[in-house]
Structures are given as structure tokens and as C-alpha cells.
């Protein structure tokens, strides 16, 4: 009796909140057949938005992966002044509104910003252009690799690394032969989460992009812009592309997910 | 290690400093003027009330769902477990669009909550769904059932067992999940922007208000409101962290 009640409550909640809405979007996108949906996602603007989204992720994800591994090693293995601050700063992007993140980059690199005149004197456009969007994406997707790698590094301990260096391995050799193989699944999981966040970021990118159609419009911004211009098929079709990327992410997550018992 | 610190300073610290500096530059009176603007106050109030409601609903439903995923057996359980992370993987704008499609004006269900406060609540519930489930689930998996069996053999009913044995063990995990959900809810933008209609004094949340300030060229106002949002977020996270530490210490004593 209890069991059925709880099961009904939990599954009903998930169905209403999650399964039904996502299902309806797929249905709406293909309401008029596959043809119009396909046409909508292959317009030059949509294709450029897709290209830009992938390009930004292709810069932000490797940058955050390298930083994430280095930073995790620093947090777990090294002692340095301000370590507590570094630890707190890494989690900060999770607690910040994406709009505030966007505002921060405007205030740094925009007109009248701290580095605004310096970058424009050097002919670089950061805000309302690719560099600003990349910076905002790096900011919001920064914590994931660090947070996945830190617990694994703690758990594996330092004995093998110490043994390797006693036997004459250089720090780089120790890293490549001992540390990296033991953290590779955690890194992979972190990369999946980083990629998901980078592909799907909306708020921060929305503020710094300037919404120039066909120029600084990512796929998420494209969904909004199409919806606001009452092109529902275009909005739903682009949303379905993003939803399929998300489902791909879910599959990758279930492959790389750290087993609860070993955490 | 210098590299990591430099990267962090450049990407995270410097931008934040710029926001704080901009807010501080308007002075105490200027700052107060922006923050006490009725529209800003209304947006902040709505954000806080809805975020607290989201935390309460998540604490209950998250625990229920974690429970049926760990202690129950039913066909399709693996699939249900997998889709829990969908709100994390799905871009927020798509999340908002999906909710609007089903519960909006052209929705097939005949329910229309678009441009109401219910819509804001719905959007925030969607994006915060995984947090409590994913923090409670591992604790529930590792929870030893001996105590529950002992309580049952001593004649405790299932509600008493839950209240006296299971819940105290899960409480710290629930709090961690709630803290993550609160931090997410209070700053959420993408999922709310389409479905809420952003009506000032009615459905406009704080992040949308900040966005509006930015769009109308009032960076100082946006920065001031951002600082208020930041201070509230850190205050609440600190309070939840303290409560969590306090309850765990209490258990062991």
C-alpha cells in the first residue's frame, strides 16, 4: 500500500514535470512532418548558430579540462597560501546567476569597462563577439572537471606516485604513467558535464553576445529568437537538436558515471 | 600551480571584482536608491519566496524519488534513474520551452499557466530536480538496514521507522541538495524567461530584472542588484552549511 503510494507519487511527479513536457516538444517539432523541421534547422542562420555553439564548446572544454586537472592536483596534493580561497572560488560559478556572469564581462571588456579601451585600442572586440562568449562559457562550465577529479585524487593517495619518483621517474612521467590513468574516468565524466554546460549555456552568453543573428547567435539564443519571432517550427526544431545533444550527454554520463560505492 | 591560480583569478575573480566595484562606485545613497526601487524589491521578493518553495518541494519529492529508486523495484527503473539528470543536460532555454509547450497557451493538456507565478515555480522545479535526488541516493544506498529491521521487530510502524531512523540519517544529504537547489533557483534565468512573460511586479524574477537593467544601459543598477543577490545567496548557503554541520555533530554526540 505504502509502496504503491510512494511509487505513484514519485513517478507521477517525474512524468508531469519531465517526461511529458519533453515528449511534447518532440511531437511539436515533427507535427508537420520531418521536412519542415529539417528545413528549419538547415537555414544559414541555424547552421551558423550550430557552428558557433560547437566552436565555443571546442575552446572552452579543453581549456577547462587542462585547468581542472591542474587545479585538482593543486588542491589535493600541494600546500600553498590561499588554498581555501581557491577551493571556494572553484565552486563559485555554480552559485552565480548567469546574468551576473554576463554583466561582469561587460563591465570588464565593454565600453567604459576596466579593459574596454585597452582591447578596443588593440583592435580586439571581446564583448558582442566570440571572445566574450567564450569567456562567459568558460566561467559557467569551470567547476565540473575539478569537482569530479578532486575526490578521486584524494582516494588514490600518494603511495604509487611516491614509489614512482623514488624509482627515478620525473614529475611528468609520474603524472603520465601513474596519476593520469587513475583519474581518467573522473576526467572523462567531468568533460561530459563541462560539455553539456558549455553547449547549453544561455543567460551569460545572452548578455555578452548582443544577439546579432547569423553572427553572435548560438543555438540556445537561436531557439529564443525563433520563438520570439513566432517561428514555432524553427524554435522547436532547434530545441530538438539541443535536446538530442542532451540525451547524448545523458548516455555518456551513464557510461562514465563514477560508481557510488567507490566514491 | 601559479597557472591554476592565475586562470582562476582572470576568469572568476576579476569579473566579480568588476561587478562589486561598479556597485560600490554608485555610493551608499545611489546603491540604496537602486535596491529599494519597488520593481527591484518586488522581483527579489518573488525570487526568494519561489526559491524557498522550490527547496521545500524538492526536499520532499527528491527524497521520495530517491527512495523509490533505491528501495523499490519496478520495471523501467534504470530508465527513470537515467532521465533524472536530463534537467542538468538540457539547456535552460529548452527546458523553459518544453514547459511552455505543455503548460502554455497552445498546450494539448488544456492547462495554461504561462505568465503566472505558477509558471516560475514550475520552471525552477524543473531545473533543480536532480539536486536532492542525487545527494540523497548514495546515502540511502549505503544506509545499513539493520537498524530499521531492529526497529520493526521492536514494533515500530513504518512511519515511526522513517521519522526516527531513516530521516535523521538522510537529513544532512537533504540539506546539501537543498543548498544546491537554492543556489540554482535564486539565479535562474534561461528557463524562466520564456514561460514567465517577465511581467514587472508580477512574474519578474531578480535575474530577469538585472537583465532588463543591462539592456536599458543601466550597468550600475544591474551591478547593485547583482551584489544584493550575491550577498543573499552566500548568506543562505552559509546558514544551510552551518545547520548541516550542527545537525551532523549532534547526531554523533
Mean pLDDT of chain A: 90
If you measure CA to CA, which chain B residue comes closest to A85?
B5
Q: Which of B42, B4, B84, B24 is nearest to B231 (CA)?
A: B24
Beta strands in chain A (DSSP E): none
Chain B residues in contact with A90 (beta carbon < 8 A) = 8
Helix (H, G, I), strand (E, B) or coil at A122: coil
Q: Which of B19, B94, B219 sits opposite A239 (nearest CB)?
A: B94
Describe the crossing of helices B206-215 and A98-109 by its angle, rounded to 10 degrees: 30
Q: How far is Cα B75 from Cα A122, in angstroms, rounded to an integer?
A: 62
Report the pLDDT averaged over residues B91-120.
91
Determine the residue of chain B that is closest to A19 in CA distance. Answer: B83
Of A214, A261, A220, A215, residue with least CA distance to A238: A220
Q: Report residue B121 as a C-alpha cell.
A: 515555480
Q: Residue A118 contacts by C-beta under 8 Å, 6 or more apart in sequence?
A: none
pLDDT of residue A3: 82
For residue B53, the model assigns a pLDDT of 97
d(CA B167, CA B140) in angstroms, rounded, equals 10
Q: Per residue in A132-158, pLDDT tens? A: 999 999 999 999 999 999 999 999 888
Residue B154 pLDDT > 50, yes or no? yes
pLDDT digits (tens, 9 = 90+) for B64-79: 999 999 999 999 998 9
Spatial separation of the C-alpha atoms in residues A97 and A90, rounded to whole Å: 15
Please check whether residue B231 touches A, CB under 8 A. no
| Whole-number percent of chain B with pLDDT over 90 | 67
Dihedral sign for Cα A135, A136, A141, A146, please. positive
- Give residue A72's pLDDT: 94
Per-residue cell: B150: 531492529
Share above pLDDT 90 across residues of chain A, in percent, rounded to a whole number: 62
- Let me know if B47 is exposed, middle or buried by CB neighbors in 10 A (0-12, 13-18, 19+): buried
Q: CA dihedral in degrees (B247, B248, B251, B253; nearest 10)?
A: -100
Residue with cell 574596454: A116
**Mean pLDDT score, A21-49:** 89
**Complex ipTM, two decimals?**
0.90
Q: Which residues, including other chains, have CB under 8 Å from residue A262's CB and lie 6 or more apart?
A: A155
Is B89 within 8 Å of A78 when comparing Cβ atoms? no
Determine whether the interchain pair A97/B206 forms a contact, defined as Cβ–Cβ distance below 8 Å.
Answer: yes
- Using the beta-carbon criterion (under 8 Å), do B92 and A97 form an inter-chain contact? no
Q: Answer for the pair B66, B140: CB distance below 8 angstroms, yes or no.
A: yes
Tens digits of residue pLDDT in A197-236:
999 999 999 999 988 888 899 999 999 999 999 998 899 9
Identify the pLDDT of residue A214: 83
What is the number of domains present in chain B? 1
Considering only the beta carbons, identify the residue of B4, B19, B92 that sits closest to A200: B92
Cα(A179)–Cα(A158) distance, rounded to whole angstroms? Answer: 9
pLDDT computed for residue B18 by the predictor = 93
CA-angle at A187, arms to A185 and A189, nearest 5°: 70
All residues of chain B having their beta carbon less than 8 Å from the beta carbon of residue A206 are: 189-190, 211
Test mutation, A95, A149, A224, A240, chain B, max B CBs within 10 A: A95
Q: State yes or no: pLDDT of A17 exceeds 70.
A: yes
With b for 16 or more beta-carbon neighbours within 10 A and e for fewer, the A157-195 pattern comes to eeeebeebeeeebeeeebbeebbeeebebbbebbbbbbb
Closest chain A residue to the Cα of B121, Cα to Cα: A17
Picking from B84, B90, B82, the residue whose alpha carbon sits closest to that of residue B130 is B84
Average pLDDT over residues A94-100: 93
Listed by number, the residues of chain B in 6-35 with a beta carbon closer than 8 Å to a beta carbon of chain A are: 7-8, 11-16, 18-19, 21-22
For residue B156, give every residue at least 6 positions away whose Cβ sits within 8 Å of its Cβ, in sequence order, or none: B164
The pLDDT-based confidence of B1 (bands split at 50, 70, 90) is low
CATH number of the domain that residue B42 is part of: 1.10.3720.10
How many angstroms separate the CA atoms of B106 and B242, rounded? 46
Is the four-CA dihedral B214, B215, B221, B222 of positive or negative sign? negative
Q: Give the highest mean pLDDT range of A116-130, B21-35, B108-122, B125-139.
A: B125-139
Strands in A74-157 per DSSP E: none
State the average pLDDT over residues B120-138.
96
pLDDT tens column, B165-210:
899 999 999 999 999 999 999 999 999 999 998 999 999 999 999 9
B97, A239: Cβ pair inside 8 Å? yes
**In 3D, which of A229, A35, A89 has the Cα closest to residue B194?**
A229
Considering only alpha carbons, which residue of chain B is nearest residue A259? Answer: B138
**B184 interfaces chain A, CB cutoff of 8 Å:** yes
Q: What residues contact B78, with CB distance under 8 A and at least 6 apart?
A: none
Q: Round the average pLDDT of chain B to a whole number and report it.
A: 91
Cα-based distances in Å from B119 to B100, B125, B200 = 8, 10, 15
Nearest CA in chain B to A67: B4
Contact indicator for B155, B178 with CB cutoff of 8 Å: no
CB of A148 closer than 8 Å to CB of A190: yes
- What is the pLDDT, as a whole number, of residue A260? 45
Residue of A18, A205, A236 best to disrupt the B interface, most CBs of B under 10 A:
A18
Q: Residue A221 has what pLDDT?
A: 95
Instruction: Provide the grid cell at B15.
Output: 569579473
CB contact under 8 Å between B4 and A99, yes or no, is no
What's the CA gap between A234 and A49, in Å, rounded? Answer: 12
Q: What is the pLDDT of residues A37-70, one digit of tens each?
A: 898 889 999 999 999 999 999 999 999 999 999 9
Q: Which residue is it, cell 523495484?
A: B73
CA distance B241 to B112: 38
Mean pLDDT of A85-101: 90
Q: What is the mean pLDDT of residues B206-228?
A: 94
* pLDDT of B253 strictly over 80: no
Do B211 and A200 count as a contact with CB atoms less than 8 A apart? no
Which range marks the domain in which residue B61 is found?
A: 2-252
| Residues A116-154 as b or e (16 or more Cβ within 10 Å = b) | beebbeeeeebbbbbbbbbbbbbbbbbbbbbbbbbebbe
Amino acid at each position: 500500500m505504502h509502496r504503491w503510494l510512494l511509487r505513484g507519487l514519485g513517478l507521477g511527479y517525474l512524468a508531469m514535470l519531465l517526461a511529458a513536457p519533453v515528449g511534447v516538444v518532440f511531437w511539436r517539432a515533427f507535427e508537420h512532418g520531418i521536412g519542415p523541421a529539417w528545413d528549419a534547422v538547415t537555414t544559414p542562420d541555424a547552421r551558423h548558430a550550430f557552428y558557433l555553439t560547437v566552436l565555443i564548446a571546442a575552446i572552452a572544454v579543453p581549456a577547462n579540462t587542462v585547468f581542472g586537472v591542474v587545479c585538482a592536483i593543486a588542491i589535493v596534493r600541494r600546500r600553498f597560501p590561499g588554498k581555501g580561497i581557491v577551493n571556494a572560488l572553484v565552486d563559485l560559478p555554480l552559485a552565480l546567476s548567469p546574468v551576473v556572469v554576463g554583466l561582469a564581462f561587460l563591465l570588464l571588456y565593454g565600453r567604459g569597462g576596466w579593459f574596454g579601451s585597452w582591447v578596443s585600442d588593440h583592435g580586439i572586440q571581446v564583448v558582442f563577439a566570440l571572445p566574450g562568449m567564450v569567456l562567459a562559457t568558460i566561467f559557467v562550465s569551470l567547476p565540473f572537471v575539478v569537482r569530479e577529479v578532486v575526490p578521486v585524487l584524494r582516494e588514490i593517495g600518494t603511495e604509487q606516485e611516491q614509489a614512482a619518483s623514488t624509482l627515478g621517474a620525473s614529475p611528468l612521467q609520474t603524472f603520465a604513467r601513474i596519476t593520469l590513468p587513475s583519474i581518467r574516468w573522473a576526467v572523462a565524466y567531468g568533460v561530459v558535464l563541462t560539455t553539456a554546460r558549455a553547449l547549453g549555456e544561455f543567460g551569460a552568453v545572452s548578455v555578452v553576445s548582443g544577439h546579432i543573428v547569423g553572427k553572435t547567435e548560438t543555438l540556445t539564443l537561436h531557439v529564443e529568437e525563433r520563438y520570439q519571432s513566432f517561428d514555432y517550427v524553427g524554435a522547436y526544431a532547434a530545441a530538438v537538436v539541443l535536446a538530442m545533444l542532451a540525451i547524448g550527454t545523458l548516455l555518456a554520463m551513464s557510461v562514465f558515471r563514477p560508481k557510488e560505492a567507490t566514491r | 600551480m601559479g597557472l591554476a591560480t592565475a586562470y582562476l583569478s582572470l576568469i572568476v575573480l576579476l569579473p566579480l571584482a568588476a561587478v562589486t566595484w561598479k556597485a560600490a562606485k554608485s555610493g551608499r545613497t545611489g546603491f540604496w536608491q537602486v535596491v529599494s526601487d519597488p520593481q527591484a524589491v518586488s522581483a527579489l521578493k518573488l525570487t526568494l519566496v519561489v526559491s524557498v518553495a522550490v527547496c521545500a518541494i524538492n526536499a520532499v519529492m527528491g527524497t521520495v524519488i530517491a527512495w523509490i529508486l533505491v528501495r523499490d523495484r519496478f520495471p523501467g527503473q534504470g530508465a527513470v534513474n537515467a532521465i533524472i539528470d536530463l534537467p542538468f543536460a538540457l539547456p535552460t532555454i529548452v527546458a523553459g520551452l518544453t514547459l511552455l509547450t505543455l503548460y502554455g497557451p497552445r498546450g494539448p493538456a488544456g492547462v495554461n499557466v504561462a505568465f503566472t507565478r505558477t509558471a516560475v515555480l514550475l520552471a525552477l522545479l524543473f531545473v533543480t530536480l536532480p539536486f536532492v535526488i542525487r545527494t540523497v541516493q548514495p546515502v540511502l544506498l549505503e544506509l545499513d538496514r539493520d537498524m530499521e529491521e531492529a526497529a520493526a521487530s521492536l514494533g515500530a510502524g513504518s512511519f515511526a521507522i522513517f521519522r526516527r531512523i531513516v530521516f535523521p540519517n538522510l537529513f544532512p544529504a537533504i540539506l546539501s541538495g537543498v543548498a544546491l537547489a537554492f543556489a540554482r533557483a535564486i539565479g535562474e534565468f534561461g528557463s524562466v524567461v520564456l514561460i514567465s512573460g517577465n511581467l514587472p511586479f508580477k512574474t519578474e524574477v531578480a535575474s530577469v530584472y538585472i537583465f532588463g537593467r543591462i539592456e536599458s544601459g543601466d550597468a550600475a543598477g544591474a551591478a547593485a542588484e547583482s551584489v544584493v543577490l550575491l550577498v543573499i545567496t552566500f548568506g543562505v548557503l552559509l546558514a544551510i552549511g552551518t545547520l548541516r554541520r550542527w545537525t551532523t555533530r549532534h547526531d554523533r554526540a
